[in-house]
Amino acid sequence: MPAIAIIGGQWGDEGKGKLIDLLAEKASIVARFSGGNNAGHTVVNEFGEFGLHMIPSGVFHSHVDCLIGNGVVINPRVLISEIETLQGRGIDVSRLFISDRAHLIMPYHLLLDALEEDARGKSAIGTTRLGIGPAYADKVSRLGIRFGDLLDKDLFRRRLRAILNHKNTIISRVFGASPLSFDEIYQEYCNYADRLLPFIRETSLMVNEALEKGDTVLLEGAQGTMLDIDFGTYPYVTSSSCTAGGACLGIGISPLQIDKIIGVYKAYTTRVGGGPMPTELRDATGDMMRERGKEYGTTTGRPRRCGWFDGVATRFSARLNGFTGTALTKFDILDTLPTIKICTGYGLEGTVLDNPPPNFATLEKCRPIWEEMPGWQTSTHHIRNFDDLPREARQYVKRIEELVGCPVDLISVGPNRDQSIIVRPIL
Ligand code: GDP
Ligand code: IMO
Ligand code: MG
């Protein structure tokens, strides 16, 4: 079997972690390809509840190799602490591997993320302040330091000295903040290198060899398509390519090797941080979604903005990624509602848009065109077959399939691995 990409179809937190944990049973490799510890993937299974930030969500299956690909930016302090937390809870992490080409998040990235966000004032992006944007910016500016660079301490010392001089000039002269100490960073990162050395590999080769053998590889997306650096609601986006295209770049495989691309959608919409969200509800229904859905960020604890399913943004992301199927999650959160709305188009100054406009200011002016459907008002937690869902629930799924233009393969009716309705087997 070939590679299967699991991609967030909205603004992140769609339930990618749950799906990967479920599917990994039949996979040999689970590989993260983008983002950093801005991601928070929750997995609930027989070992307990876990919030993963860096380590792929396949880690609970002892036969699975978990890879962190070249497209990921890594804070080694956070990664070590995540490894230790998992080990402390009895999870085996000996099959974790880190790409030698993955970029490091350095202390100046965290500092600059905070300084830049503060400087943006009211236009702040609402980043996680974990240094993600500055780390990707350095990668593109060719000022990054990669994991492989840590293997040669002399090279690392020379690179860090040159780059830190440049960063300290910006930190002190542009922002008036205190410069960072070379000796402290050098020593700290040499310690991390010693600790993480056994995990470093050429992960692209590992994936390609596995695919040649016919093994199944899951490509674990982070964030969501509407946060993508190119196609998201720019500039209110993250700094990486969260789409299926990004999966090839971020792990080092050919696009022809991806056999299936599964879009993960919540049955409604959430977003954390700033930026337009056309279907946002600032009312009791939105509050209900937040409380019932426990919509508080896994990474920052911030309340997530909640609203109805956005048929325009999701159709856009299905086309952009070429979704071959979708997983519809958190379906149970809608169980109590008498009626449910779906956005079928964006109204803008007398016209109807079928696609999100590229400019965030225009998107902010768009008003959703609603379609209202009856709710099912009965619990779906225990349901495991599509045909056992109430008629109104099946109608809702069918309408989403029509709007998105893609079949629903799986419906998730609770956070646990087994709380899943398989409509069409993904693996
Ligand atoms: P990810 O970033 O895409 O992996 O998603 P998160 O883990 O950040 O957010 C999804 C949240 O919803 C987590 O707390 C999951 O445990 C939970 N979850 C996932 N699927 C379901 C579901 O079908 N029903 C309910 N009630 N919770 C779910
Ligand atoms: P998972 O993988 C939801 C959001 C932040 C902010 C914007 C930019 O759990 O779905 P950044 O720190 O990346 O520069 O912040 O992106 N964001 C996420 N929102 N889920 C995520 O990941 C996110 N990762 C980043 O809230 O609005
Ligand atoms: Mg998340």
pLDDT in tens, 387-398: 999 999 999 999
Structural contact between residues 220 and 19, judged by C-beta atoms closer than 8 angstroms = no
Q: Catalytic residue numbers? A: 13, 41
What is the predicted pLDDT for the residue at 1?
Answer: 58
Q: Supply 303's token pair.
A: 């309340």
Q: Is 44 in the pocket of ligand 1 (CB under 6 A)?
A: yes
**57 alpha carbon, closest ligand:** 1
Within 52-131, residue ranges assigned H as helices are 76-88, 107-120
Strand partners, 5: 219, 261
What is the number of other CB atoms lying within 10 angstroms of the CB of residue 8? 28
Q: Supply 116's token pair.
A: 């830049």
Cis peptide before 235 (omega within 30 of 0): yes
Domains annotated on the chain, with CATH: 3-90+202-422 (3.90.170.10), 103-198 (1.10.300.10)
Q: Report which protein residue has its CA nearest ligand 2's atom 15.
A: 127
Strand partners, 326: 263, 408
Structural contact between residues 223 and 13, judged by C-beta atoms closer than 8 angstroms = no
Q: Is 196 in the pocket of ligand 1 (CB under 6 A)?
A: no
Q: Supply 98's token pair.
A: 């880190």
> What residues contact 36, with CB distance under 8 A and at least 6 apart?
53, 54, 72, 73, 74, 75, 105, 130, 131, 132, 135
Report how far apart, in Å, the C-alpha atoms of 343 and of each of 268, 269, 311 are. Answer: 10, 11, 5
- Containing 289, the helix (H) or strand (E) segment is helix 284-292
Ligand 2 mean position, distance from CA 13 (Å): 9
Q: Which of 38, 329, 413 to mutate to test the pocket of ligand 1 (most atoms within 8 A of CB)?
A: 329
Ligand 2 mean position, distance from CA 349 (Å): 31
Q: Report which protein residue has its CA nearest ligand 2's atom 11.
A: 127
- Give burial (CB, 10 Å; 0-12/13-18/19+) of 287: middle
Strand partners, 342: 309, 371
Q: CA 273 to CA 38: how far, in whole Å?
A: 12
β-pairing, 41-45 with 48-52? antiparallel
Q: CA 302 to CA 388: how far, in whole Å?
A: 36
Q: Which residues of the chain have pLDDT under 70?
A: 1
Ligand 2 mean position, distance from CA 238 (Å): 6
* Upper half-sphere CA count for residue 315 (Cβ side, 13 Å): 19
Q: CA 402 to CA 331: how far, in whole Å?
A: 17
Q: Is 21 in the pocket of ligand 1 (CB under 6 A)?
A: no
B/e letters for 96-123, b = 16+ CB within 10 Å, e = fewer, are bbbbbbbbbbbbbbbbbbbbbbeeeeee
Report how far apart, in Å, the C-alpha atoms of 266 and of each of 114, 311, 330 are. Answer: 30, 12, 6
* Upper half-sphere CA count for residue 51 (Cβ side, 13 Å): 13
Instruction: Please spell the DSSP secondary structure of 180-194, one letter per residue.
Output: PPHHHHHHHHHHHHH
Ligand 1 mean position, distance from CA 291 (Å): 13
Structural contact between residues 368 and 346, judged by C-beta atoms closer than 8 angstroms = yes
Q: Which residues are near ligand 3, the ion (C-beta closer than 5 Å)?
A: 13, 40, 298
Each residue of 305-341: pLDDT tens digit?
Answer: 999 999 999 999 999 999 999 999 999 999 999 999 9
Number of the ligand 2 atom closest to the C-alpha atom of 41: 9
What is the predicted pLDDT for the residue at 299?
Answer: 86
pTM for this predicted structure: 0.98
